[in-house]
Amino acid sequence: MRANRIPTEEIRREPAAFDDRVTADGRFGRAAEPGRFRLVVSRACPWAHRVVVTRRLMGLEGAVSLAVTDPRQEDIDGDPHWVFTEETGSPGDRDPVLGIHALREAYLARDPHYDGGVSVPGLVDVDNGHLVSNDYDRLSLDMATEWGGLVRDGAPDLYPAPLRDEIEALGADVYRDLNNGVYRAGFAPDQAHYDAAVAGVFARLDALEERLAARRYLVGDTVTMADIRLFTTLVRFDSVYHGHFKCNIRKLAEYPALWAYARDLFQTPGFGDTTDHDHIRIHYYYVHTGINPTRIIAAGPDPRGWLTAHHREELGGSPFGAGTAPGPVPEGERV
């Protein structure tokens, strides 16, 4: 389903069109090399945001460069496309490294006959301009576990082996009811589909509120992939999912534990410093003309609330465990 059309059936996510893996040892055919790959993202997209957070926490900014598309997208042949514009730092409306205007060009460089959808994130091979992968989950996991000596000293263990089963079990529930559930509600084709989806969203939020009332992080005592997966939905909830997607039974700010948890993460290096509230609001309200035909962009909420005290440190735990916080955001990537 295209987001700029009136929904006629429940939204369904297509599997990643390209899912080549990049690892330090190159055992899947592609080796992680400094400067070899460029990560194309939209700062509005929660799925791309997962990879951006992981890249920053692991200190991979110097190994894989970042390209940011315009939040508004551009209509090409009747479909919206992720494009580079001067407004977002691309001279001549082309990415200065890849030389492309639309991410679709990297898809077609990989497969000239490709006629499917185009999604972010996209990992692109700088040498030949081919898309390597648009599999956001595998990209995150591999950057967290498979990039070997390219990660920074003090990088955290975001996917601890003893906790992986719990991380994945919880992640499946959160994906079904919340990460994807907000989209199923927002793009529901009828009342029955909306009612079912929104009920699932708030049942999951209620369960997470209870889980986080007495523990600082979702799984274990440090930040893990489970927290990254949840954060990128929570940080968009009150600004776009609550109003634009009609998930308005309660606001995130009305959940004491969840709201404090989200602020705790936001104030942790790697999370808030990769979040662009303006891109989020602009993209959702401008691009989804099927549910917002006027393209009027909502003004709020005030993002300063994300910087208020959370007191979650009183629950124990520490964000990076035996590791350390990442250094300053690179100059060209500040939001």
If 0-12 CB within 10 Å is exposed, 13-18 middle and 19+ buried, where does residue 30 land?
middle
List of residues 6+ apart from 147 with CB closer than 8 A: 22, 23, 24, 32, 58, 60, 63
Among the listed residues 183, 194, 217, 255, the single catalytic one is 183
Nearest to 67 by CA among 79, 82, 54: 82
Catalytic-residue membership of 261: no
Measure the CA–CA gap between 279 and 25, rounded to whole angstroms.
36
Catalytic-residue membership of 183: yes
Q: Tell me which residues are annotated as active site.
A: 45, 183
